[in-house]
């Protein structure tokens, strides 16, 4: 570590020297400041960082949405906070220096007399004149100081920007909101947080101008517990918008939720503007937004064949999972991750939290999905019916006649479930008056919470949240919060899990997700949908189903615009804010059921996985029946295979030091030349069409990955990971520009992998380190602990985000957040090592997900991660010969192991005996429909393993 720190200090000194040279050469202040920022982050977060300077990591949930709108990624809150703090300091430092962050058309600007006078005194006003100061403000003590915070907005402006429209908004983040301003530019729009739009439509920060929010409740929401000085401005391109949804806020149709192509979203409340007109304005910049509904694309659901079916039809035909369909309904009903008051709601699906093993074939294992949580037991149901009838008997106000005065989903319920993870910890404490609740009332046990919500507590009818089916991190107290001590002396830490989870949150999530996708839940889920989103939501059907809630919870029963008394209105809004909101009603008739397992809508048998919502490919269901067949390519590579792609038209392959560029795969990127240049060409042609010398400054390139048609990532002997922006014009490569150079490794980088669905990429190095980077922000996320040898291959599962890293003969399986699940030494001989690896992806809850490795001995090995008490228990084949490497830090009590399912040896199949010399496996790929395994070797051959042969 001392060697790392010394290297880091030398690199830091070198970077600082470059900064000084930039200063002397007249580089812009913005460029210099960002250079300093990168240096500081680099010095703090690299493997060479000084431990005395770094604090204990604190983990915060990243708002990035991956497949099926799952938020799996977490990040170090200290790193993120430092980044934002330094960015703010950079933008507001040296107030007296004149900068010009954007070229602004002088014809669009006006300077009033007061600002001219202040400009003469040396203050930086020229760049602020886009927001002409309020004339009267300089006659008032409130506005004597010029609002320099507006520089933050101007720093974000695109060149020659011209703002055409401004409006005041509230930016909702969880259970709080920030006052802000929305600016529409030519090609970009800007969300400015902690800024105010004055009556004369001038922009000030919240320190220098009174709030423009007239609604007292929204005003209090925006300004409660809010410290002055955290102004921000974010720039977005109109073309980066994936969808915009019309949303409710506090049961009022005044909000928009903007979903971006990069996986993030923003929730804006238009408290004094016409929300629909703002939506039309967005559509005028991107007309395609008008026709977009909530689709598979918006939910990041895997595309399926079968024409234009509705999501209901796809769910019925088991083309999408139960989770996918529930998330679709939540999105359609206006439930949002960005507003804790209307967070996505998911059902309790299990009733067995005491057994040692979970039996998903036993109906008694499951909760009764036809009844709400308040009617799960006969006695509890009777009490709630009695409460409903007592209002009528006592001649009370029948308008408030209901079974439940509490709700199944609210901000406090969401925050209590996720209290061990930021930012929900702060939310929970804020809702509790600044501290944690009494320990016995905190969420500490899945079993006791189920018993409270289903049987014991008449004030508790809570359902679940999506995280119970995909996010094991929320069940652990990784941030080491002092949550208190219960009356029996138990110190609160990690959540107590059912016995069948074996104390392992990863196993709990896996089995819980399998329960959601089980045959029983599939057959009964439509009953629960009727209660939450359907015809039993309210009215006589709801009364009969014991499923009525306080009238304040229903949006269609509360017309807040007609309530004139501000005290009454504020009381109702406070009730809604604290106790929850009923989702929009989606169905007025009984919801249809799902097709029976193994039956299509036509009644014909289909091959389905036992616990899944989708079809299991033959390759996965018949590993022991795989047969070998040679592959004939029209354009065969000359040399060792480096990259294989299976397209709709067939199989494409190129030699080492080449990759195919998505999504058309007709272009190739090539490296490894003696002059360190790189080339682009057409697939099937040996002629290099375009050559670039820009990579020569970064040493010899050893590896590259191309996550999209516009992004190429390279690295090699320099140890620096370079992210390049590729420009294509009319199918011709025009330029290759460096977007970012990323520092973190100390020796040559040997392998790269990228996942667009999780917006990450991974780099492995000879220094035995493996780093996870953010593909959007191009920043460091996490470093995997040291491996036992130099990294030789990495891969990312696009369904789960899991990461494989291979070092010598060792195989490691990690979560997307860098948690080690299991590792194994795969060595069959002292000289055998892994060369390449990949995933065979099926469904993200499927325990049969296969890991595939190719080695120097010419053998392809298929591995399965299983929970088993016997590490040598293989799936129908002999036990694995390798030495098992226990995870050590995973906390698994029953043990997760990598089990060898099958060895595929081409030489053995073709000749009947293993050859003395075999070509190393250099490339692996699974076909688009997961029916074939494609293998390339060092001799330039490609073979195909499939059931059909």
Q: How confident is the model at residue 597 (pLDDT cuts 50, 70, 90)?
A: low
Q: What is the pLDDT of residues 924-946, one digit of tens each?
A: 999 877 788 999 999 888 888 88
pLDDT at 245 over 90: yes
| Contact in structure between 830 and 838 (CB atoms under 8 Å) | no
User: Given this model, what pLDDT does residue 473 score?
Assistant: 95
| Contact in structure between 396 and 402 (CB atoms under 8 Å) | no
User: Could you tell me how far CA 308 lies from the centroid of its own chain?
Assistant: 27
What CATH code is assigned to 347-403+419-579?
1.10.1540.10
pLDDT at 419 over 70: yes
End-to-end CA distance of the chain: give it in Å, rounded: 51
Residues paired with residue 932 on neighbouring β-strands, in sequence order: 946
> 73-87, 127-141, 333-347, 640-654: which has the minimum mean pLDDT?
127-141
CA distances from 592 to 312, 461, 585 (A): 9, 25, 16
| Contact in structure between 170 and 177 (CB atoms under 8 Å) | yes
pLDDT at 39 over 50: no
Q: Which of 783, 818, 765 is nearest to 49 (CA)?
A: 783
Q: In whole angstroms, give the CA distance from residue 631 to residue 648.
A: 16
Q: Which of 350, 621, 682 is nearest to 500 (CA)?
A: 350
Q: How confident is the model at residue 916 (pLDDT cuts 50, 70, 90)?
A: low
| Contact in structure between 335 and 583 (CB atoms under 8 Å) | yes
User: Given this model, what pLDDT does residue 113 score?
Assistant: 31
Q: How confident is the model at residue 22 (pLDDT cuts 50, 70, 90)?
A: very low
Q: What is the pLDDT of residues 688-723, one digit of tens each?
A: 778 898 888 899 999 999 999 999 999 999 999 999
Q: In whole angstroms, give the CA distance from residue 21 to residue 15.
A: 10
Q: Which of 304, 316, 846 is nearest to 596 (CA)?
A: 316
User: Given this model, what pLDDT does residue 304 score?
Assistant: 53
> Which tokens go with 483?
């949550």
Q: What homologous superfamily does CATH list for 625-870+892-946?
A: YVTN repeat-like/Quinoprotein amine dehydrogenase (2.130.10.10)
Q: In whole angstroms, give the CA distance from residue 67 to residue 796.
A: 13
Q: In what order do the strands lie in the sheet with 803-807?
A: 791-796, 803-807, 810-814, 820-825, 884-885
Write the secondary structure of 379-448 as one string of H (helix), E (strand) and C (coil): HHHHHHHHHHHHHHHCCCCHHHCCCECCCCCCHHHHHHHCCCCECHHHHHHHHCCCCCCCHHHCCCEHHH
| Contact in structure between 221 and 176 (CB atoms under 8 Å) | yes
User: Given this model, what pLDDT does residue 224 score?
Assistant: 74
Q: In whole angstroms, give the CA distance from residue 872 to residue 754.
A: 32
User: Given this model, what pLDDT does residue 329 score?
Assistant: 96
> 107-121, 260-274, 622-636, 743-757: which has the minimum mean pLDDT?
107-121
Indicate the pTM of the whole model: 0.85
Other beta carbons within 10 Å of 622: 13
User: Given this model, what pLDDT does residue 629 score?
Assistant: 81
> For 334, left (φ over 0), alpha (ψ -120 to 50), or beta?
left
Q: Please give the angle made by the CA atoms of 237, 239 and 245, to the nearest 5 degrees.
A: 95
Residues paired with residue 902 on neighbouring β-strands, in sequence order: 862
Which of 3-7, 203-207, 446-450 has the largest mean confidence?
Answer: 446-450
Q: What is the pLDDT of residues 92-112, one digit of tens each?
A: 453 334 344 344 443 332 223
Q: In whole angstroms, give the CA distance from residue 521 to residue 511.
A: 13
For residue 127, the SS3 value is helix
Average pLDDT of every residue of the chain = 80
Neighbouring residues of 568: CB distance < 8 A, sequence distance ≥ 6: none
Write the secondary structure of 556-576 as one string of H (helix), E (strand) and C (coil): HHCCHHHCCCHHHHHHHHHHH
Q: Which fold has domain 146-298?
A: PH-domain like (2.30.29)
For residue 681, the SS3 value is strand
| Contact in structure between 947 and 927 (CB atoms under 8 Å) | no
User: Given this model, what pLDDT does residue 231 score?
Assistant: 87
For residue 873, the SS3 value is coil
Q: In whole angstroms, give the CA distance from residue 180 to residue 167.
A: 9
DSSP 222-284: HHTT--TT--EEEEEEGGGEEEEEEEEETTEEEEEEEEETTS-EEEEE-SSS-HHHHHHHHHH
**Where do the H-state alpha helices sit in 589-708?**
618-621
Q: In whole angstroms, give the CA distance from residue 168 to residue 852.
A: 53
Taking residues 508-527, report their average pLDDT: 95
| Contact in structure between 924 and 837 (CB atoms under 8 Å) | yes
| Contact in structure between 651 and 945 (CB atoms under 8 Å) | no
Return the DSSP state at 638: S
């Amino acid at each position: 570590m001392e060697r790392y720190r010394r290297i880091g200090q030398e690199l830091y000194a070198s970077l600082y020297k470059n900064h000084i040279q930039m200063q002397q050469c007249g580089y812009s202040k913005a460029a210099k400041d960002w250079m300093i920022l990168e240096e500081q982050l680099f010095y703090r977060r690299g493997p060479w960082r000084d431990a005395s300077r770094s604090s204990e990591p604190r983990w915060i949930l990243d708002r990035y949405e991956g497949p099926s709108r799952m938020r799996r990624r977490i990040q170090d809150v200290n790193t993120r906070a430092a980044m934002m703090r330094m960015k703010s300091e950079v933008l507001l430092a040296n107030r007296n220096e004149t900068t010009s962050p954007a070229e602004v058309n002088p014809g669009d600007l006006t300077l009033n007399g007061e600002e001219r006078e202040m400009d003469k005194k040396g203050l930086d006003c020229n760049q602020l004149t886009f927001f002409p100061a309020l004339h009267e403000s300089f006659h008032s003590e409130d506005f004597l100081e010029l609002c320099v915070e507006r520089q933050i907005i101007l720093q974000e402006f695109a060149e020659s920007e011209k703002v055409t429209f401004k409006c005041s908004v509230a930016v909702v983040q969880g259970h709080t909101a920030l006052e802000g301003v929305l600016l529409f530019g030519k090609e970009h729009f800007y969300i400015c947080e902690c800024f105010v739009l004055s009556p004369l439509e001038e922009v000030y920060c919240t320190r220098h101008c009174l709030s423009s929010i007239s609604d007292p409740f929204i005003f209090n929401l925006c300004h409660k517990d809010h410290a002055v000085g955290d102004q921000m401005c974010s720039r977005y391109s109109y073309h980066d918008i994936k969808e915009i949804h019309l949303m409710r806020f506090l049961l009022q149709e005044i909000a928009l939720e903007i979903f971006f192509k990069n996986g993030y979203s923003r929730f804006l409340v238009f408290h004094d503007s016409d929300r629909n007109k703002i939506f039309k304005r967005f559509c005028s910049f991107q007309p395609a937004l008008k026709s977009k509904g909530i689709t598979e694309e918006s939910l990041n659901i895997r595309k399926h064949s079968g024409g234009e079916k509705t999501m209901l039809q796809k769910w019925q035909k088991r083309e999408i999972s139960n989770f996918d369909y529930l998330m679709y309904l939540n999105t359609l009903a206006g439930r949002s991750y960005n507003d804790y008051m209307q967070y996505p709601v998911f059902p309790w699906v299990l009733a067995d939290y005491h057994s040692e093993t979970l039996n998903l074939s036993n109906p008694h294992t499951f909760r009764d999905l036809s009844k709400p949580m308040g009617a799960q037991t006969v006695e509890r149901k009777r009490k709630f019916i009695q409460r409903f009838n007592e209002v009528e008997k006592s001649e009370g106000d029948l308008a408030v006649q209901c079974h439940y005065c509490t709700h199944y989903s609210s901000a406090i319920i969401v925050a209590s479930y996720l209290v061990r993870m930021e930012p929900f910890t702060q939310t929970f404490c804020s809702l509790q008056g600044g501290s944690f609740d009494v320990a016995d009332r905190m969420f500490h046990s899945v079993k006791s919470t189920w018993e409270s919500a289903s049987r014991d507590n008449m004030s508790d009818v809570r359902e679940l949240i999506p995280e119970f089916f995909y996010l094991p991190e929320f069940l652990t107290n990784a941030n080491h919060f002092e949550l208190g001590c219960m009356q029996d002396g138990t110190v609160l830490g990690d959540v107590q899990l059912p016995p069948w989870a074996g104390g392992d949150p990863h196993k709990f999530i896996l089995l819980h997700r399998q329960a959601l996708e089980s045959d029983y839940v599939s057959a009964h889920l439509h009953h629960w949908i009727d209660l939450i989103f359907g015809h039993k939501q309210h009215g006589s059907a709801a009364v009969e189903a014991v499923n009525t809630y306080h009238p304040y919870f229903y949006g269609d029963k509360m017309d807040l615009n007609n309530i004139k008394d501000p005290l009454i209105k504020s009381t109702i809004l406070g009730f809604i804010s604290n106790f929850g909101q009923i989702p929009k009603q989606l169905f007025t008739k009984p919801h249809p059921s799902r097709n029976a397992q193994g039956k299509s809508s036509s009644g014909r048998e289909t091959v389905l996985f036992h616990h899944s919502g989708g079809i299991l490919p033959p390759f996965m269901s018949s590993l022991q029946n795989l047969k070998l067949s040679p592959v004939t390519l029209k354009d065969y590579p000359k040399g060792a295979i480096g990259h294989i792609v299976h397209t709709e038209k067939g199989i494409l392959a190129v030699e080492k030091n080449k990759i195919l560029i998505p999504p058309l795969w007709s272009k190739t990127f090539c490296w490894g030349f003696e002059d360190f240049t790189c080339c682009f060409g057409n697939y099937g042609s040996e002629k290099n069409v375009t050559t670039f010398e820009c990579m020569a400054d970064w040493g010899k390139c050893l590896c590259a990955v191309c996550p999209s048609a516009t992004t190429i990532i390279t690295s090699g002997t320099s140890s620096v990971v370079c992210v390049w922006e590729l420009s294509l014009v009319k199918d011709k490569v025009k330029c290759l520009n460096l977007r970012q150079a990323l520092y973190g490794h100390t020796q040559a980088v040997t392998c790269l992998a990228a996942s667009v669905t999780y917006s990450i990429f991974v780099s492995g190095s000879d220094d035995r380190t493996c780093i996870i980077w953010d593909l959007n922000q191009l920043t460091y996320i996490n470093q995997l602990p040291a491996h036992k040898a130099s990294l030789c291959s990495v891969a990312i599962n696009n369904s789960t985000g899991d990461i494989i890293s291979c070092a010598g003969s060792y195989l490691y399986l990690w979560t997307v957040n860098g948690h080690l699940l299991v590792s194994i030494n795969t060595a069959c001989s002292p000289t055998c090592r892994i060369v390449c690896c990949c995933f065979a992806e099926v469904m993200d809850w499927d325990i049969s997900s296969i890991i595939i490795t190719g080695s120097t001995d010419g053998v392809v090995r298929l591995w399965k991660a299983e929970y088993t008490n016997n590490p040598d228990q293989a799936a129908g084949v002999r036990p694995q010969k390798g030495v098992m490497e226990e995870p050590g830090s995973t906390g698994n009590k029953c043990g997760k192991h990598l089990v060898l399912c099958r060895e595929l040896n081409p030489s053995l199949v073709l000749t009947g005996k293993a050859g003395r010399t075999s070509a190393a496996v250099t490339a692996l790929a699974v076909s688009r429909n997961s029916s074939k395994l494609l293998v390339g070797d060092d001799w330039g051959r490609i073979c195909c393993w499939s059931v059909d042969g």
